[in-house]
Structure 1
Amino acid sequence: MKLVNYSLKHPFAANRIGFILYDKIVDLHATYEEMIATDTKLGGTHVTSNPDAFYALGSKGIELAQKVERYVKDKGATNSFSREEVILHTPIPNPSKIICIGTNYADHVAEMKGEIPEFPVLFAKFNNALIGPEDTIQKAKLTEKLDYEVELAVVIGERATNVAEADAFDYIAGYTIGNDISARDLQKRTPQWLQGKSLDKSTPVGPWLVTKDEITDPANLTVRSYVNDELRQSSNTENLIFNIPHLISFISNLITLEPGDIILTGTPDGVGLAMDPPKLLHDGDVVRLEIESIGTLTNTVKDER
Structure 2
Amino acid sequence: MRVMEQASENSRLTWRLEVVKTFLETCIQEVSLNGRQGSSLKPDSWNKVKVVLQTSHDFIVTQKKMKNHYDYLKEKYQAWLPITKKTGNIYDPATNTIRMSNEEWDEYIKAHPKAKTLRSAPLPFPELCTTLFEGSTATGIHGWSPSCTTPRPGASSVATNIDIDSLDDIEDLLGDKNDGASKDSPSQSSIPIEKKNLGKKRKNASSRLEIDEKMSAALELLINKNNGPDVEECIEKLDKLGWEEPLYSAALSIFCEGDSYTKTWMKLRGVDKLENYVRTMGKKLGIL
Same fold, judged at TM 0.5 (above): no
More strand per residue: 1 or 2? 1
More helix per residue: 1 or 2? 2
Give the TM-score, by structure 2 length. 0.30
Give the TM-score, by structure 1 length. 0.29
Structure showing greater relative contact order (alpha-carbon pairs closer than 8 Å, 6 or more residues apart):
1
